[in-house]
Structure 1
Amino acid sequence: MERMPPLQVALYLALVAITVMFLMLVVAYATARIRSGVPTGLHPFPRYFSLSTIVLVISSYTIGQALRLYEHDDLASLGRCLGATLLLGCIFSGLQVLGWRELMTHGVPFRGEASSSSGQFIYLISALHVAHLLGGMVLLLALLLQVLHADRDAVRSLVFIRNPYHRRQIKLLGTYWHFVDVLWVVLFAVFLFLF
């Protein structure tokens, strides 16, 4: 039986910890929402959250192509794929900020009295999600720079393609990105149901 690489073990442990944290926050949000007694549908749901969900799902598709491109020794396309994913991650983050502004204009304050604490959970949960996405974007940028550097020279390109560590990096980054994507889709569904 093959041992799991330490980086993969660390990633899986981190994903479990992130899942538990968000699960606790969602339970706290649902409890605060129910206790507030404010009926659902009182405020319109931010359309930017819906747009950001579409953008993140598309980014999950683009990062999903990375491993295939790597295995076909196509560093130029891999660089474009990683760059597109990074750009979509930036767009998602910007749309989240616009969603927060939309929440404020619809009367869901970031800070306020205890009765609006359920609205504060939306800001907190989505901001923490963006922070986790930004962490992935930093790793994505580092990998993109490595790919662009390797693609400039045939020897560096060959060394990059034949290094199993780079394959593992791409695979782990894809796993993390898909996790963050699925996490947002679940959070979006919770917000949609309870908002």
Structure 2
Amino acid sequence: MAVAHTTVAPHQHVADKPLEYQNPVQSVKILGFWIFLATDMLLFGCLFATYLVLRTHTDGGPTPHDIFDVRGFTIETFVLLTSSFTGGMSTLAMRNGNKRQLLTWLIVTIALGLTFVGFEASEFVSDALRGATMQRSAFLSAFFTLVGTHGTHVSIGIIWMIVTAIQVAKKGINPISARKVFVVNLYWHFLDVVWVFIFTVVYLSGVVM
């Protein structure tokens, strides 16, 4: 009896991978970005540690109770976490090869990111008008450095996402643009995780304690 042999195409195992990982060069670049995120995590870890040490050093100036607006930072949190969902949807659309949905979700994510930055800038201006500036106390220096560094990262992410959306609009979905969409959303999710810690460690503890 003849035995039937099943032949597997050499590229079949590649097709099972997400588009952004199908090209070895793009896979290495994604690995490099994971390493970058690890170093960025160390940066934020140092900023959190500094804040925890200095948060009680108000020097008679404004305290967390005086400047933290529960409604404001709650809205910021809702907006940024929603943008994490829409960013994830853009990655899903990319993997499904749906360019139109991909661009739509990227635009929504960008809009939410701009909204978040707008609320944060408004918060900083309001604090400054009440005399809560970086120079006033060690607590305020640590607060503005930590939250401001995160806000700067978000602003960079918005610009990055705009550039990525333009590239997708011009060149479509391919292994290179897929890697860029995946990486910028990976960066965005990282910032959302950092914000959850800021929301808990800085804002919630500042209001409760």
Give the TM-score, by structure 1 length.
Answer: 0.82
| 1:51 and 2:75 correspond | yes
Alignment-derived partner of residue 142 in structure 2: 121
1:94 corresponds to which residue?
118
Q: Confirm or deny that 1:170 pairs with 2:154.
A: no
Task: Provide the residue aligned with 2:4 in structure 1.
Answer: none
Equivalent residue runs for 1:2-81 within 5 Å:
5-36=27-58, 42-46=65-69, 47-81=71-105
Moved more, 68-77 or 38-47: 38-47
Equivalence for 1:157: none
Runs of 5+ in structure 2 lacking a partner? 1-20
| Structure with greater helix percent | 1
Match of 1:153 in 2: none
The answer to which of 55-64 and 4-13 deviates more is 4-13
Aligned length: 181
Structure 1: runs of 5 or more not aligned: 151-159
Letter in 2 for 1:18: D
Post-superposition offset of 1:37: 8.0
After superposition, give the CA deviation of every residue in 1:96-148 in whole Å (9 maximum; x if it has no partner): 11111233355533322xxx211221111111111111222222111111222
Change (3 A) 1:81 1:42: closer
Instruction: Note closer, same or farther for the CA distance 1:77–1:165 as it changes in structure 2 (3 Å cut).
Output: same
Q: Is 1:194 aligned to 2:202, yes or no?
A: no
Using the TM superposition, give the Cα deviation of residue 59 of structure 1 relative to its aligned residue in structure 2, in angstroms.
Answer: 0.5
C-alpha separation in 1, matches of 2:202 and 2:93 = 36
Deviation at residue 6 of structure 1 after TM alignment? 2.7
SS in 1 for 2:65: coil
Work out whether residues 91 and 181 of structure 2, in 8 Å CA contact, stay in contact via their aligned partners in 1.
yes
Distance 1:41 1:128 in 2: 18
> Which SS does the other structure have where 2:188 is aligned?
helix
AA in 2 matched with 1:45: F
Aligned mates of 1:26, 1:135 — CA distance in 2: 20
Find the structure with the greater CA-based Rg: 2
Q: CA deviation at 1:10?
A: 2.2
1:90-169 equivalences under 5 Å are 90-112=114-136, 116-150=137-171, 160-161=172-173, 163-169=174-180
SS for the counterpart of 1:5 is helix
Q: Name segments (4+ residues, structure 1) moved above 6 Å.
A: 37-40
Q: RMSD of the TM alignment (CA)?
A: 2.4
Identical aligned residues as a percent: 25
User: Which stretch has the larger CA shift, 63-72 or 174-183?
Assistant: 63-72
Q: Is this contact kept in 2: 1:30–1:194, CA < 8 A? A: no
Residues 62, 85 of structure 1: 8 Å contact kept: yes
CA distance in 2, matches of 1:191, 1:85: 25
